[in-house]
A and B are shown apart, each in its own frame.
Chain A
Amino acid sequence: MMTGCTLSNLLGIRYTSKEKFLEILHNSTQFVEVNQRAIKKVPSLRGRSIINLFLEPSTRTRVSFELAGKRLSADTINISGSESSTKKGETLLDTVKTIAAMAPDAVVIRSSASGAPEFLAERTDNISIINAGDGLNEHPTQALLDCLSIKERLGKLEGLKVAIVGDVYHSRVARSNVMAHRLLGNEVRLVGPETLVPSKLISADLLRPITTDNPGRLTVHSCLEEGLSGVDVVMVLRMQLERQSNFFVPSLEEYSKEYGISEKVISKYCPDAVVLHPGPINRGVEISSELAYGSRSLIARQVELGVAVRMAVLFTLLAGGHEG
């Protein structure tokens, strides 16, 4: 049975209700307090086991999930490995069988295959599946921590205009954030060259119905001025340097000249905006150092809040027992 929208999985923001989304954010703020204590550990998930299955390289997400599990007193086990790109289905199926046999309470999965968390959820019972980033699909905990960072700084999460700038095509962070802000009723503008923000793909993929009556507006802009004018939040995406051999942009220099975000650009088009970046940043390519480390940047806070948000996700999904 497809279990994508039950409360015990976090497969993507597209399956998450606004109520659940806000509940996780609420609990996150309480874990921010726990993370400031001298003893940063609570007994809430004692006796639970969590497998962190990282099939694609990741440092910050893996470490923050591991720390989150440990601070909740769960037993965390890390499995990492690289997938054979030609045998993804088969490899993943074998992995699923192995994991099911170990009967953990939760599996946190990062994979380069879009849909791998759903694949896992469909083939396991009584295991909470948490998506830590799958291919070009979603990265829900990143969207949660981005929203928490915004809420902390701006004091609100609704009635906002949000611009997402750069390589939207390759970005699961962008997809989850689009879902999250539409769920909250915020206006979302996708900004970048046509090759990286193809309007056709966006409308087919991202305009899928999500679980809200009042989704925010979603528009596409290839003109930076048009996209950024008057926004409250600018989310700069990483130029995925490893993918540029695919000729999405003529050169990084040219991209940077046209779409690079600097303090000058922000103060010209949206002087009140805060700036986010999911990291790791390519300084001087998609964002200037001055802006990334300046006062309107939430980048350092995004990393700090990562652990609290992941604690809230694990707590919200695993405390209170499995449903059903």
Chain B
Amino acid sequence: MTDSKTIPSLWKLVVDPETISRCISRISYEILERDRDHNLAIVGIKTAGEHLARRIHDRIEQLENRKVPFGVIDITLYRDDLLISGTKPLLKGTDLPFEVSGSRIVLVDDVLFTGRTIRAALDAIIDFGRPSRVELAALVDRGHKELPIKADYVGKNLPTQRKDSIKVRLKEMGFDDDGVYLV
């Protein structure tokens, strides 16, 4: 029960724990640099994005010594493949406990790939109000976008093949250490 989850030996580590930690720090500073109106809110996209968003959020609160709103969104209800995919989606829940209208929202996700998740997340946010601005932070940008969506803050650019699979594994998900893997 208490054993942590293991990474298959064939997976190739492409971003190590130290680099992930530095990326989180740098992104936190970059987000703060643009915080002119003090209306910042950090929003994670479930599931891995939530943990990364939480780290960035905690870092920013620590640096600034003030409270910053935090929320999570589950994009399942907004997916554009709901009617075609064969999987039975399980809902994970959305919680945006702050006034969305007028906020500068920084969306956080683990991997930016086709951009479809971000498109769905934007739709979800707009159902809650009209933010003054929405920005995007991603730990990894792996290319192959299918929509005109670009990240404002990128941890690591990783050139990949389209057929590759990139997995982000974090301590918060029950793993021994953080890592980004090529599968």
Which A residues have a C-beta under 8 Å from some C-beta of B? 7, 23, 26-27, 29-31, 33-34, 37-39, 41-48, 315-316, 319-321, 323
Contact = CB atoms under 8 A, between A and B. Distances in A.
Contacts, number: 60
B10 interface: no
Given A38-B128, A323-B86, A44 B92 contact: no
B104 to A, nearest CB: 20
Interface stretch (B62-70, B77-85, B108-116, B162-170): B77-85
B89 interface: yes
Given A27-B91, A30-B92, A37 B128 contact: yes
Contacts of A23: 88, 90
A23 B76 CA distance: 15
A30 B90 CA distance: 10
B93 A30 contact: yes
B83 A321 contact: yes
B95 interface: yes
B2 interface: no
Given A44-B77, A44-B79, A319-B88, 19 more contacts: A27-B90, A27-B91, A30-B74, A30-B92, A30-B94, A31-B91, A33-B93, A33-B94, A38-B128, A42-B77, A42-B127, A43-B123, A44-B82, A48-B83, A316-B88, A320-B86, A321-B83, A321-B85, A323-B86
A323 B86 CA distance: 7
B84 A321 contact: yes
Contact of A30 (B86, B91, B129): B91
B76 to A, nearest CB: 8
A23 B94 CA distance: 17
B77 A7 contact: no
Contacts of A43: 77-78, 123
Which DSSP category, helix, strand, loop or mixed, fits chain B's interface?
loop
Interface string B121-135: 001000111000000
Contacts of A41: 127
Shortest 6 CB-CB distances between A and B: which pairs? Answer: A30-B91, A42-B77, A44-B77, A39-B127, A319-B82, A320-B88
Nearest to B127: A39
Interface in B42-89: 74, 76-79, 82-89
Contacts of A39: 127-128
Interface in B128-178: 128-129
Contacts of A46: 83
Nearest to A48: B83
Contacts of B123: 43
B127 A47 contact: no
Contacts of A33: 93-95
Contacts of A30: 74, 91-94
Nearest to B74: A30
Contacts of A321: 83-86
A42 B93 contact: no
Nearest to A320: B88
A23 B87 CA distance: 14
Contacts of B89: 319-320
A47 B82 CA distance: 11
Contacts of A26: 90-91
A7 B87 CA distance: 12
B127 A320 contact: no
B85 A320 contact: yes
Contact of A47 (B77, B83, B87, B91): B83
Contacts of B95: 33
A276 to B, nearest CB: 25
B128 A319 contact: no
29 contacts: A23-B88, A26-B90, A27-B90, A30-B74, A30-B94, A31-B91, A33-B93, A33-B94, A34-B77, A37-B127, A38-B128, A42-B78, A43-B77, A43-B78, A44-B77, A44-B78, A44-B79, A46-B83, A47-B83, A315-B77, A316-B88, A319-B88, A319-B89, A320-B85, A320-B89, A321-B83, A321-B84, A321-B86, A323-B86
